Each structure stands twice: as C-alpha cells, then as structure tokens.
Structure 1
Amino acid sequence: MRAWKLLLLGTAAVLLGACASTDEQDDTGLPSGSRTETAFYEAAQKQLRSSQWDLAIKNLRALEDNFPFGTYAEQAQLELIYAYYRNYENDAAITAADRFIRLHPQHRNVDYAFYMKGLASFTEGTGLFERFLPTDLTKRDPGSARESFAHFSQLLSRYPESPYANDAQQRMVHLRNLLARYEIHVANYYFKRGAYVASANRGRFVVENFQQTPSVPDALAVMIQAYHLLEMPELEQNTKRVLLENYPNHPAIENGDFNYAYYEGTAGRSWLHRATLGLFKKAEPTGFDSREQYNAAYRDRDAPMPPR
C-alpha cells in the first residue's frame, strides 16, 4: 500500500511540475530555466522580426522587470515603444515614450522617443480596419492631429539634426493640411444649417492660419458664398478678387466669375445620387471641396525600428 501511495504522490508531483512549467513557458515563450537577460532580448528580437507583437511586448517587459539595470534595459524600453505602436496600442506607446524621455533625457536616441510620440498620436483613433480601408481623416476629431503636430514640433525644436526630422516635417505639413480641411468641412456643415456667419468665420480662420495649404481656395470660396448670403457686398467683392487672381481654375469659377449656384449644385454629385440615376434628388450639397484639384499626394510610411 505504501508503494502505491508513493507512486501516486510521485505522479502527482510530476504532473504539477509539468503544468507549472507549461504555464511559465506560455507567458513569454521561454522555458523557466533559461530566462536570462540575453534570452529575453534575443527572443524579443526574433518576435519583432516576425511581427509577433504580443509576445515581443511580454518579453521586453519581462526583461525590464527582471533586469532593470541590465545591458539591454534601455534598448528594450525603446523597442517596447515600437512594439506597442505596431500592435495598435497607441496610448501605451505614448506612455512608454514619455517614460523613456523622463528616465533618459540625455540618451543618444531620446529623439526616437519624441518621434514615436508624434507618430502614435498621428495614428491615434485608427484601428486595424481604418489603417487599411479608405477613410477621410479630415472628418475625424482634430484633437489627435493637433497633439501629433505638437510632438513633431517639439522634436524639430530640440533635435533639428535628428535623422527623423525630415520625416517629422513632412508629416507636419500633412497634419496642417488635415487641420485646414477639417475647418472647411465645418464651414460646409454650417452652410447646411444656415449659419452663414459661422461659415464665413471658419473660412477666414483657414486663410489667416493655414496659408500655403490646399484648403485656402475653398476657404475663399466659403467666404464669398457666406458674404453673398449675408448681403455684405464689399467683403464679398474683395474676397472674390483674391480668389479670381490667385486661383482662377477653382471649380466654383465659371466664365471668369464666381458661380453662386455651385454650392447647391454639389448635391447631385453624391454617390447615392449617381448610383440611383437621380432617384434621390434631395441630397444635401457636399459643399466646397476641391481637394482633387489642389491637394498634393501624401505617402505614409511605416515607423522605423529603434536605433541601437
């Protein structure tokens, strides 16, 4: 009987040990006996290369937790920012970047943390589907675009010679265009609600604050239309002269003059109107939107791996 008891106890111990070992391995993918700093780091590198972001995050966090002052600790913190970003965890990426900047303000690669803060804010609010399906980013809440612009601006002011400065500057131009176009969308919305003073103010805001953006022609058109509806002929004529002299090919200009019926005419250009061969004739006008004519192409690119 004693032999059977010993056999059962031994079997139970083996099974419990196997379960514990399996549980430990499932967390990071490493056997419990080989959890050295180098093993964590090499496993994370392999997982980053194979886009296994969840496992890479676990190993990078485990490395930092177990070896906070080790050889790879600072590099792991940088790569954790990147892994969070690639895993669509933008808030976590920004938090990790802020932490790195706070802990290592003089680090030779701290500019990468500033850059990734801007990049994570740049894509904040865009999930997996939004990144691959066509969406109009100019209609999103501009808060994240403003934050991203501020982060990139901070990078350029602190580290103008950074290898990420050129890319940050291009993204800032794109963000500025997005912010200007958002104002035009709001102006068109106010037109639909009959708030012509608000429309005129939005157009003027673009002209005054977003010079050199592709939205300026539409901003001038918004102002002309609004001043016309508000019966303010002097402001209307002055703004019309600016549009005609600087953007004579704007779609709202016909035969050398501004076409006040253009705004209402955009109602028939909706996809629903075209798809139903005009069945739905009461579509609201889309408003002033000459992006196809004035917008320059922008090509986004993936975030670079952190430097070593």
Structure 2
Amino acid sequence: MRMVNARCGRAASRPARRSLATGMLVVCAAVGLSGCMSSKDDKMDVMALAAETDPADVLYNQGLANLNSGRLKEASRKFDAIDRQHPYTEWARKALVMKAFTSYRSGDYEEAVTASRRYLSLYPASDDAAYAQYIIGLSYFRQIPDVTRDQKSAARAVAAMQEVVDRYPDSEYVEDAKAKIRYANDQLAGKEMQIGRYYLERREYLAAINRFKRVVDVYPRTRQVEEALARLTEAYYAMGLTQEAQASASVLGQNFPDSQWYADSYKLLQSKGLEPREGGAGSWFADATRKLVGA
C-alpha cells in the first residue's frame, strides 16, 4: 500500500495519526482501492461514495438524469449504488434493468447481457421482463459482423429475440424483435451461401449442395433462397445430375418466376436442350416447393 503523505503524519499527534489512519483505511476499503492517495481524484471518489449513500429514490433519479445527459458511466454508478445499498427493494429492481440498458448504451454488451439475465432470474414475472429479454437480443444483434466472419452473434440474437416473441407475445418489442430475427437469419443464410460458393468454385459439389440445401431448409424466408436454388441447379448440372438440376430450377421458377436467378438457371438448362421439371412426390424438391410456397 502506498504510504500516506508524510505531511499529514507530521501534522498530527500520535493518537490523532492512529485515528486518521484508521479512518482512511475504512474509506479505502469501501471504495476498493489498493492504495490511498491524497490527490484531487481520490477526494472526488470519496465524495462520490458519500453521495451514493443517498436514499434509493434520489439515487435512481440521479441515475436517470445522468443517463439523459449522456453521462453513462455516472448513471451506471448510481444504479449500482442502489443495488448495493438497497438490495431486494422495488428501487433495486428498477435500477437493475436500467443498469442493463445503460450498459447497452455504453456498448458494454457483455455487461448488458449479464445484468439482463440477472434481472430475469430475480424478476421473471415483472412488467419489465420483456424489456430485459429484448436488451439481451439487442446486445447480440449489435455485435453481428459482416457475413464473411463468424455469425455466432447472429445465432444468439435470433435465439434471444425469439424468446421475446414466444414468451412475451403482447409486448411492444415483438415487432422489432421479428424484424431483427429476419435480418439475423439473412446473415446466417448469407454465411451458408458464402461457404457453399467456396465449395462450388473448388468443384466440391456435394459439400456445396449441402450448404445450399440448408439455406432452403432452415432459412426459407430469407432473400438468399433464390440464389441457393440457382446454385443447386448449377451444382447438379456440373455433376451431370440433370433430373436434380431440372427439379431445382423448377422450384426456383415456381417461387420466383421473375427472378434473374431463374432466368440464368433456365438458360443453363436450355444449353443442353433441357427445361425445368418438377421433382417426384416425396423428394426433397417437392418438400422444398411446399415449404417455400408456405413461407
């Protein structure tokens, strides 16, 4: 521990020094410092600590004021103080969800998720439970990278936002949750397409086909489906599996007749005197047609 300023020690008598040292140790322990300094910043920290012993409603309103003024760190500090000083109160409940929101606004998404999950574990039936779940979804959503990178955050965003839709169907957050699910699913489908195109370029056709089929099976409502069906036609055609190529093009034509992808697939088949043709009953292509028609 850093030595206390020597001038303070010379100015006090031995009993007084002992009392002063004890008082400073108490303050240092309270604010979690590893050393005690007499700087201006330390004095401000002590003053802030004293302010954080205010009544819960005062701290809460101070937190809101700081939040509205953009002083997010100070707002978070006020909400934390309520949790420490007034646990298991209604103010602590309100402060916890505001702590989650403040962390989200600050870009501290990990803390936002942690605070929201803690809120849901403590107050699962409260009026703000839907909001806490929504914050979890938003925190993951804001971390979705471009489609060339790992889409783990997109998958987590979908799962979290689906919880909003399923568990809180009457909440005001449902429509936005659905919109974000659509976007995140499109990212996930886009990642599958990127990998599938990679395999297709390397002529690893079976691996490519599996990726393109997954887009149709798992993400039928995304804008990636048109290309996925066209790429399936291309891959099957390259393998000499003309019936499968015709069936893929047929699914594409039935669902997206005005698509450029369909025009390209039709032209590819025509180069060998072929045309789109429906797959047999019970085939993957028949199932895909039904799935997309209902999408």
Give the TM-score normalised by structure 2: 0.72
Contact kept, 8 Å, 2:76 with 2:103, in 1: the verdict is yes
Cα separation, 1, equivalents of 2:183 and 2:52: 47
Aligned equivalent of 2:83: 64
Unaligned runs of 5+ in 1: 127-136, 261-308
Deviation of residue 139 (structure 1)?
A: 2.7
Change (3 A) 1:199 1:259: same
Cα separation, 2, equivalents of 1:194 and 1:255: 19
Contact kept, 8 Å, 2:216 with 2:225, in 1: the verdict is yes
Deviation of residue 26 (structure 1)?
A: 3.4
Cα separation, 1, equivalents of 2:215 and 2:8: 83
Change (3 A) 1:244 1:156: closer
Aligned equivalent of 2:11: 9
Please tell me the residue identity of whatever aligns with 2:48: L
Q: Greater CA deviation, 116-125 or 214-223?
A: 116-125
Aligned equivalent of 1:83: 102
Q: 2:243 aligns with which of 204, 228, 234?
A: 234
Cα separation, 2, equivalents of 1:255 and 1:201: 21
Change (3 A) 1:45 1:177: same
**Superposition pairs of residues 159-178 of structure 1, within 5 angstroms:** 159-178=168-187
Aligned residue pair count = 243
Change (3 A) 1:98 1:83: same
Change (3 A) 1:250 1:41: same
Q: Which runs of 4+ in 1 moved over 3 A?
A: 5-8, 16-22, 248-256
Q: Greater CA deviation, 64-73 or 250-259?
A: 250-259
Please tell me the residue identity of whatever aligns with 2:84: D
Bigger radius of gyration, 1 or 2?
2
Contact kept, 8 Å, 1:176 with 1:210, in 2: the verdict is yes
Please tell me the residue identity of whatever aligns with 1:191: L
Deviation of residue 256 (structure 1)?
A: 8.3
Please tell me the residue identity of whatever aligns with 1:9: A
Aligned equivalent of 1:35: 53
Instruction: Output one character per residue of 1:230-259: Cα deviation in whole Å (capped at 9) or x when no partner.
Output: 111110111122323433443345588334
Matched, 1:74 2:83: no
Tell me which protein shows more helix as a share of its residues: 2
**Superposition pairs of residues 45-124 of structure 1, within 5 angstroms:** 45-124=64-143
Of structures 1 and 2, the one scoring higher in RCO (CA 8 A, sep 6+) is 1
Aligned equivalent of 1:157: 166
Give the TM-score normalised by structure 1: 0.69
Deviation of residue 171 (structure 1)?
A: 1.3
Please tell me the residue identity of whatever aligns with 2:98: E
